[in-house]
Amino acid sequence: MLVKNSEYVTSAVDMEQCPADDLPEAVFSGKSNVGKSSLINALCNKKKLAYVGNTPGKTRMLNFFLLNGNMRFVDLPGYGFAKVSKEKRSSYSGLAEEFMQKRKNIKIVIQLLDIRHEPSEDDIQMIDFLNQTQIPFLISVSKCDKLSKAQYMKRAGEIVEKLRIDPDTPFILTSSETGQGIEEIWDAIEFYCFGG
């Protein structure tokens, strides 16, 4: 998709602060540092739309970005960060969970995993949760440029095996550095946000 305009709109710490219209939303979910901000920037072809390289756990809000005036990206709080107390951790994931359960605008969730790491317990829980909701989702595996093709293909197979995801769930190998997989992610987002 050609993104002519993209802009940060607002951040929310509860459901009341979320935009109150019915624009379709694509939601980005994943562990802190997995590459969510970089992916959002790559999809929008902008260097600094979403902030890259935050202190793990610093981004604790839902961040909304408006694209072409007719859809939004939502950056969920990154989970699994070590520097925040358990109590705070659960309240952030509580917000993400409430958002996923109640927000009517969500058309697709882009769940990120790092090609170099084993899916964590948090990742597996999130994917189980997504499987239970009726929201379409895809797995976007980040940072493939850090491995050779042979290595990332092998890793991808291991990740799929560990997750035991439905074969219909799109599994897209990406790199925000080289642009690998970016068009495929856009195709899925467009399909779910605007129909085929």
Report if residue 52 touches ligand GDP, rule: CB under 6 A.
yes
Q: Are 138 and 112 in contact (CB under 8 A)?
A: no
For the segment 11-50, give every residue that binds ligand GDP (CB under 6 A): 30, 32-38
Q: From the list 27, 175, 182, 192, which residue makes contact with ligand GDP (rule: CB under 6 A)?
A: 175
Contact set for ligand GDP, span 127-146 (CB under 6 A): 142-143, 145-146
- Residue 61 lies near ligand GDP (rule: CB under 6 A): no
Nearer of residues 79 and 129 to ligand GDP, judged by Cβ: 79
Site for ligand GDP (CB under 6 A): which residue of 11, 91, 160, 177? 177
Site size for ligand GDP (CB under 6 A): 19
Binding stretches for ligand GDP (CB under 6 A): 30, 32-38, 52-54, 78, 142-143, 145-146, 175-177
